């Protein structure tokens, strides 16, 4: 069974602060993704990676950075958190063109 | 770019009634089409996918046919159960690299006993 874990599961941050969301997968998958979920917008791709030490911009990358230090780990970094970044964030992994496996999500609230 | 449009929710049904969630898409590529389901407190999970036009996908009583001419991929179930209450996402993957998915906005389904 595929396994993608995220930490923290919930976080409250202050405007202007730095936030790091972490994702770990034990699937041995090459591809990893970060999405945000908002009511009325569904799931939107922020960043993705197909190999360690390399990341690519998705559809809504502004205000976010990503880091892939190893095949198993993929982080999403908000250098200066803003109110508009309050959302639920999902990490996913996949093997090439096969199914994406999602983690349980991180609920981020920026105050 | 690619886009997916699906039924706006919430869709509220009684157990035993039929379900249709409309999904239409736009792409210049030859897509693979997906339906994902998200239960409360969980991440989305694949319901089924259809890689080829005019073929049908199905799982857990849900089904959808990839209609290339109409650019549609409507989700149907003949008789819903309370346990089907969830958010349903239609998605497409173009034939370019990186396995990038484009999702619709999701449809909330609420089934009452």
Q: Which of residues 73-102 of B touch A (CB under 8 A)?
A: 89, 93, 97-102
In this prediction, residue B19 carries a pLDDT of 97
Strand partners, A87: A108
When CB atoms are compared, the residue of B101, B102, B105 closest to A100 is B101
pLDDT of residue A1: 59
Q: Do B101 and A103 touch (CB under 8 A)?
A: no
A15 CB contacts (<8 Å, ≥6 apart)?
Answer: A81, A82, A83, A110, A111
Our CA-based measurement puts residue B75 at a distance from the nearest CA of chain A, in whole angstroms, of 17
Q: Write phi, then psi, for A83 (nearest 5 degrees).
A: -55, -35
Backbone dihedral angles phi then psi of residue B84, each to the nearest 5 degrees: -80, -5
By C-alpha distance, which of A1, A29, A11 is closest to A92? A29
pLDDT at B30: 86
Q: Average pLDDT of A93-103? A: 86
Chain B's closest residue to A103, CA to CA, is B43
Give percent helix, percent strand, percent coil of chain A, each to the nearest 5.
5, 55, 40
Check whether B98 has a pLDDT greater than 80.
Answer: no
Average pLDDT, chain A: 94
- According to the model, what pLDDT value does residue A8 have? 97
Model pLDDT, residue A39: 83
Confidence of residue A63 (pLDDT cuts 50, 70, 90): very high
Q: What per-residue confidence (pLDDT) applies to B97?
A: 63
Residue B92 has pLDDT above 70, yes or no: yes
Which of B43, B44, B100 comes nearest A48 by C-beta?
Answer: B100
Average pLDDT estimate for B23-31 = 91
What's residue A70's pLDDT? Answer: 97
Are the Cβ atoms of B106 and A42 closer than 8 angstroms? yes
Rounded to a whole number of angstroms, the distance from the CA of B83 to the nearest CA of chain A is 19
Mutate to test the interface with A, among B43, B92, B95 (most CBs of A within 10 A): B43
| Closest chain B residue by Cα to residue A51 | B98
Q: What is the spatial distance between Cα B87 and Cα B105, in angstroms, rounded to a whole number?
A: 10
Instruction: Judge whether residue B96 has pLDDT over 80.
Output: no
For chains A and B, CB pairs below 8 A equal 50
- Is it true that the peptide bond before B21 is cis, omega within 30 degrees of 0? no
Asked if the model's pLDDT at residue B20 lies above 90, the reply is yes
Residue B7 has pLDDT above 80, yes or no: yes
Given the DSSP bridges, would you call strands B101-103 and B45-50 parallel, antiparallel or unpaired? Answer: unpaired
């Amino acid at each position: 069974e595929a396994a993608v874990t995220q930490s923290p599961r919930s976080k409250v941050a202050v405007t202007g602060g730095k936030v790091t969301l972490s994702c770990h997968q034990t699937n041995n998958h090459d591809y990893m993704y970060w999405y945000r979920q908002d009511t009325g917008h569904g799931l939107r791709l922020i960043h993705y990676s197909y190999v360690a030490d390399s990341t690519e911009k998705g559809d809504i990358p502004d205000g976010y950075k990503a880091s892939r230090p190893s095949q198993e780990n993929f982080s999403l970094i908000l250098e200066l958190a803003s109110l508009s970044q309050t959302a639920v964030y999902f990490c996913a992994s996949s093997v090439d063109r096969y199914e994406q496996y999602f983690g349980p999500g991180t609920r981020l609230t920026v105050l | 770019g690619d886009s997916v449009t699906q039924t706006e929710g919430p869709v509220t049904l009684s157990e035993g009634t039929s379900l249709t969630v409309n999904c239409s898409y736009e792409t210049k590529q030859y897509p693979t089409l997906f339906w994902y389901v998200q239960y409360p407190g969980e991440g989305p999970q694949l319901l089924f996918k259809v890689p080829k036009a005019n073929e049908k996908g199905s799982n857990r009583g849900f089904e959808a046919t990839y209609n290339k001419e109409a650019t549609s991929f409507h989700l149907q179930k003949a008789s819903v159960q309370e346990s089907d209450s969830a958010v349903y996402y239609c998605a497409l993957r173009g034939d370019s690299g990186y396995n990038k998915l484009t999702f619709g906005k999701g449809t909330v389904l609420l089934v009452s006993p």
